[in-house]
Structure 1
Amino acid sequence: MHLVATDLAFAYPGRHVLQDVQVRVSEGVRLGVVGENGSGKSTLLHLLAGDLTPSAGEIRRAGSVALVTQELHVTPGRTVGDLVEDTLAHLRALVTELEAVAAGFDHDGGDLAELSDVLARVEHLAAWDADRRVDEALSRLGAVRDLTRPLESLSVGQRYRVRLACHLAERADLLLLDEPTNHLDDSGVAYLTETLQSWRGGVVLVSHDRELLDDVATAVYDLDPSMDGPPVLYGQPGYHSYRLNKAQMLARWRQRYRTEQERRATLEFRLDRSYEGLSDEWRPPKGSQKHRRGTRARIHVKAADRLVEQLKAEAVDVPPPPQELAFPDLPSMSPGWDAAEALVELRSPRVEAPDGAVRVDLPGTRLAVPPSGRLLVTGANGTGKSTLLGALCGILPLARGSRTLREGVRIGVVGQEGRVPDDGSDAARSGFDAYAAEALELLSRGELDPDHLVPVAALGLLSEAELERPLRELSVGQRRRFDVALALLHAPHLLVLDEPTNHLSVDLVDALTLALQRTSAAVVVATHDRRMRADLADWHHLDLHHPR
């Protein structure tokens, strides 16, 4: 198998997304694709899969292709079994073809080449073993194994795990994965890592998971603009090598940009001073050799003009370096508060689903978050991390136990599913309009101090151009960035983040982790991200596998 993309470009109406993209994937290559949210990572996967047509360039493919996207839109009435059958339909057809060719084969004068070809394809894809592989993948990923279960009844994460299991069992020659670890716990990530490391074809992997990139990627392709323009291929394997090389590149870029800006500012100042000598308001004193002084001023102006032209001739047009996260200075307390009193406290929480099923039950447990406190919540899928965070924030009611919230505490929440819609009238709002609407809503509830409003454009999460676009036009990652901005809007005393790394770029994950470690606000994080857990290992830890 092979895939080659040359001089690839793509643009949505009024907006360029990809330019000068070069991709080569052959058997054994596992290419990690990274880049800021909105840089075109998901678009690139759709181009490589043939779902989109490039506006320029060429794509050549040989072999079967499977694409696992971030989102799955469900048709009413469809079941887990329907999804399995759709994914494996070509394998079933191949087995049927082999059976038909074998049944009609003339052993005296039949075409042995045709039979051998079909048999080779069946063996290459291990089509006989597909059902066992699906069942194993469903089990190892913690996915629903009941084939009669309606997809509508599953959460976003459950649907993703079912679809991922199907495509891993499919054994395509080229596997395209978009953020595959978003809904996986440790055991699921371990199975995915093991499967990808032994993948006999090629893999193109879009991921924010730094551990996965370290364990799997044979090279990293960064879609972010470079100082020279085109995306950059970092040929050494692993995230650490990529991070080190990119940090060095960014340091050179920022230094070159500062140097060019300083040179330009100096020359413009000299030019302005020279032109001041020729202004209409300048008059030499009578009898002071005015013609000679005027000639000298013109000489200075010409010299400055020559220097400016020399700068233009010698300087490379250095674009501004990429924006960086500017995390706001969040408060730990309001004036007059007692530092010994918790911001929020849960005692013996029990949360039940509408049908009475128990989601969280922690009898005898006291969970208190003090000012500037730190809490890391972990556990496998289904242990109730999101439910516990919802109860802590007051979003989900308690069937038993109590919740105490200190008066005046502002809580910023980043939920796992996200708050930014991708359809409906709210999605037609621009980011600026949606941010303003959220501010007015918080103000009406008394949860916003106008003196502590955090401007969205100052955060470095989204550019002004992105904030002026309708929310539905933003990528999944850009909408996730906007979720983070909404949580920071009212300068919260407590930040509660459920799987905060989902859909974010690796650069932003690094910056956000550092910001959470340094902020004065209290922080509660629930995450499967192994690198983030390691970075936050010194925080107070609640493991829902072993809550005591």
Structure 2
Amino acid sequence: MISVSNISYFIGGRALYENASMFIKPKDKIGLIGLNGRGKSTLLKIINGELKLDAGSVSKSGDCTIGFLNQDLLSYQTEDSILTVAMGAFKEVVDIEREMEHVIKTLETEYSDALVEKLSKLQEKYDHLDGYTIQSKAEEVLEGIGFATADLHRPLKQFSGGWRMRVMLSKLLLEKPSLLMLDEPTNHLDLPSIEWVENYLRSYEGAVMIVSHDRTFIDNVVSKIVDVTQQQLITYEGNYSFYLEEKELRQEIQQGAYENQQQKIKQTERFIERFRSKATKARQVQSRVKALERMDLVEEVVDDTAAVNFKFKFNQQPGRFIVTLKDVSKAYGPLEILKHTSISIERGDKIALIGANGKGKSTLLRILSNTEPVDGERIMGFNVIQAFFAQHQLESLHLENEILEELKQAGSGKSEQELRGVLGCFLFSDEDVFKKIKVLSGGEKSRVALAKTLISEANFLLLDEPTNHLDFISENILIQALQQYLGSFVVVSHNRHFVSQIANKIWYIEDKQIKEYPGTYDEYEYWRKKNEASGLKKVEPPKAQKKADEPKPKQTHTPSVDAKLKMLEKDLKKAEDLVTQLEGRKASIEQALATPEVFSNVEKLKSTQADFKKVQEDLAQANKKWEALAEEIDQISAP
């Protein structure tokens, strides 16, 4: 259907593609993947005819049509209703309908057999094109993708960019082109809409090519992966999970071939160098020189994976309860978001807040962060230090700052070497750390903002759609960071793979109540689908098992309780000071153990090791006492 043959495309002196090729067959479901900046969106524009190639060609069959959803469509505005915009997919049918209306109006005053015959032919053609069903088809797609029935007749210009993108996606789905190209279609969709689009695309009659950083979406839709790497297009038959396995196998083979070839090259170069000046070996030397020149070089495998190799630490341990919402209500005029709902976050909770857009997820994050006024009580726990990440915070980055300077100003107290280590984990290495913020892509800015959030030494994180604009590798880095993070967090995300890797509790908003499922996302999905299969669409999630010895929280404070609370807080401060002192002592001994004068002297080494063991025991006891005091304070303070 479409052949991409030996294409080369340069931006300045940098090659995005060089002699790259691929084929698109009818009904292919292709996932286009690769690191940000490798040229995925550029390839879609090349296939769509928007960009001129430096070499090579793109050819397509005569009856091939292309529909292209890209981020530029966010700016499209009109006074037409979203239903009218979506029905623009049926241009021929709409034109016939308008002509029929004109003929009928003319017949009211100028009746003639010719007009009646014309109307009859128009009606026959209209019926043949299923004209009487186009509105219901458009309504079905719009509602499937998340619009309420009442919204269908509202003007497009009244909707935000993300919702406008949904309308344009609906129009493309209704047009049913031979090739449907989608650039990050899930960025503006909530979970129910993503699942609906997945089902639609799986049964789509034409070919589909998708650029997406949503691993689960790609896995569920595509049957072929095209990897954009090293200026080439490498095709894998299978979904993303198959691609990961197959790529690892291919890379092992390629790396082996590369190492064997490098060894052969070194041997040949040694022979040439050794016998270059000997006349009797001149012919053999020349033969080997020509062999080297003709050799097709095997590329060394570039490792696209990245691992986080440091711990995100914070100095202050929080108490048992992080935040408690008690009898909370929130409304915007007549629109009620929450109504008399209560819930608590405990130390160690890793919560994913999921669900459809418009239910109040971002509002709930702002309530938790105390940046949104609310009716009811929001009780912050003891020693809680919070940090908030949202996409709009990218705008607060200082554009003239270099990346390293931006992290220095975050106030974490980390040394330049430590900050370089953090940036290395977020794929900013060597000279990259001196790039100015203003030259970074959206994904790179997200990585900088996330790094700033994670080094803040907060023990409670609030993250709103942190994986937007992140490629697979950057997403994997964030997953590892949050898996290692010792604090508590609440994450709003529609990325199912991401959520399944980091959450130990699931929150969702239903009937204006905050509901909690006490388990992982995979467990939640199994529970939800099981209930839906049984016809139980709304059922209370199971309660978390309480510890047998867990005491009931106090309901009221008396003056004596307040006095005890003050005394306990005083004791906690002393315990905290002791922990800090012992940690400093431990660090000093560790440093001493690494010096030559200690490890080379048997007596000093034994004595220092004994000191180290003692300080470890004392520190463990001090931490245990701190935990006990913090627990007691929580039990008294709990609502």
TM-score, normalised relative to structure 1: 0.72
Q: Which amino acid aligns with 2:24?
A: V
Cα distance, 1:232 vs. partner? 0.8
Corresponding residue to 1:130 among 111, 130, 134: 134
Do the aligned partners of 2:81 and 2:154 also contact (CA within 8 Å) in 1?
no
Q: Which amino acid aligns with 2:196?
A: Y
Q: Which residue of 1 aligns with 2:232?
A: 230
Aligned: 1:321 with 2:302: yes
Partner Cα separation in structure 2 for residue 471 and residue 387 of structure 1: 29
Partner Cα separation in structure 2 for residue 183 and residue 527 of structure 1: 11
Alignment of 1:30-45 (within 5 A): 30-45=29-44
Q: Which residue of 2 aligns with 1:547?
A: 515
* C-alpha distance after superposition, 1:394-437 (max 9, x if no partner): 444444322426557362x442x35335xxx97964xxx25356
Alignment of 1:99-138 (within 5 A): 129-138=133-142
Cα distance, 1:369 vs. partner? 4.0
Q: Which residue of 2 aligns with 1:197?
A: 202
CA separation of 1:527 and 1:346: change in aligned 2, threshold 3 A: same
CA separation of 1:323 and 1:218: change in aligned 2, threshold 3 A: closer
Q: Which residue of 1 aligns with 2:563?
A: none
Corresponding residue to 2:346 among 364, 368, 371: 368
- Number of positions where the alignment pairs a residue of Structure 1 with one of Structure 2: 487
Cα distance, 1:208 vs. partner? 2.2
Cα distance, 1:33 vs. partner? 0.8
Cα distance, 1:167 vs. partner? 1.9
Partner Cα separation in structure 1 for residue 367 and residue 164 of structure 2: 24
Corresponding residue to 1:393 among 369, 372, 382: 369
Alignment of 1:358-507 (within 5 A): 358-361=336-339, 363-370=341-348, 373-404=349-380, 407=383, 409=385, 411=387, 413-415=388-390, 417-421=391-395, 429=400, 433=401, 435-436=403-404, 438-439=406-407, 441-443=409-411, 449=414, 453=419, 457-462=423-428, 474-490=440-456, 492-507=458-473
Do the aligned partners of 1:350 and 1:401 also contact (CA within 8 Å) in 2?
yes
SS at match of 1:66: strand
Larger Rg: 2
Do the aligned partners of 1:176 and 1:204 also contact (CA within 8 Å) in 2?
yes
Cα distance, 1:97 vs. partner? 5.4
Partner Cα separation in structure 2 for residue 349 and residue 7 of structure 1: 64
- Identity over aligned pairs, percent: 23
Partner Cα separation in structure 1 for residue 131 and residue 436 of structure 2: 45
CA separation of 1:86 and 1:410: change in aligned 2, threshold 3 A: closer
Partner Cα separation in structure 2 for residue 508 and residue 211 of structure 1: 16
Q: Which residue of 2 aligns with 1:302?
A: none
Q: Which amino acid aligns with 1:37?
A: N
Partner Cα separation in structure 2 for residue 466 and residue 162 of structure 1: 39
Partner Cα separation in structure 2 for residue 261 and residue 403 of structure 1: 64
Q: Structure 2, unaligned stretches of length 5 or more?
A: 104-112, 271-276, 279-284, 517-639
Do the aligned partners of 2:360 and 2:509 also contact (CA within 8 Å) in 1?
yes
Partner Cα separation in structure 2 for residue 15 and residue 414 of structure 1: 34
Do the aligned partners of 2:86 and 2:174 also contact (CA within 8 Å) in 1?
no
Partner Cα separation in structure 1 for residue 471 and residue 186 of structure 2: 13
Q: Which amino acid aligns with 1:324?
A: T
Cα distance, 1:51 vs. partner? 2.7
Do the aligned partners of 1:330 and 1:493 also contact (CA within 8 Å) in 2?
no
Which protein has the bigger helix share?
A: 2
Cα distance, 1:204 vs. partner? 0.7
Q: Which residue of 1 aligns with 2:6?
A: 7
Cα distance, 1:501 vs. partner? 3.3
Give the superposed CA RMSD: 4.6
Q: Which residue of 1 aligns with 2:192?
A: 187
Q: Which residue of 2 aligns with 1:211?
A: 216
Cα distance, 1:378 vs. partner? 2.1
Please say which of residues 472-481 and 32-41 is displaced more in the overlay.
472-481
TM-score, normalised relative to structure 2: 0.63
Cα distance, 1:220 vs. partner? 0.6
Using CA pairs under 8 Å that are at least 6 residues apart, name the structure with larger relative contact order, 1 or 2.
1
SS at match of 1:544: strand
CA separation of 1:9 and 1:206: change in aligned 2, threshold 3 A: same
Q: Which amino acid aligns with 1:542?
A: W
Partner Cα separation in structure 1 for residue 2 and residue 296 of structure 2: 38
Q: Which residue of 2 aligns with 1:527?
A: 493
Q: Which amino acid aligns with 2:376?
A: R
Q: Structure 1, unaligned stretches of length 5 or more?
A: 271-297, 300-304
Cα distance, 1:142 vs. partner? 1.2
SS at match of 2:363: helix
Cα distance, 1:222 vs. partner? 0.6
Do the aligned partners of 2:351 and 2:491 also contact (CA within 8 Å) in 1?
yes
Q: Which residue of 2 aligns with 1:289?
A: none
CA separation of 1:57 and 1:311: change in aligned 2, threshold 3 A: closer
SS at match of 1:168: helix
Q: Which residue of 2 aligns with 1:47?
A: 46
Do the aligned partners of 1:88 and 1:170 also contact (CA within 8 Å) in 2?
no
Please say which of residues 153-162 and 460-469 is displaced more in the overlay.
460-469
Do the aligned partners of 2:34 and 2:228 also contact (CA within 8 Å) in 1?
yes
Do the aligned partners of 2:305 and 2:473 also contact (CA within 8 Å) in 1?
no
Q: Which amino acid aligns with 1:243?
A: L
Cα distance, 1:34 vs. partner? 0.9
Cα distance, 1:136 vs. partner? 1.0
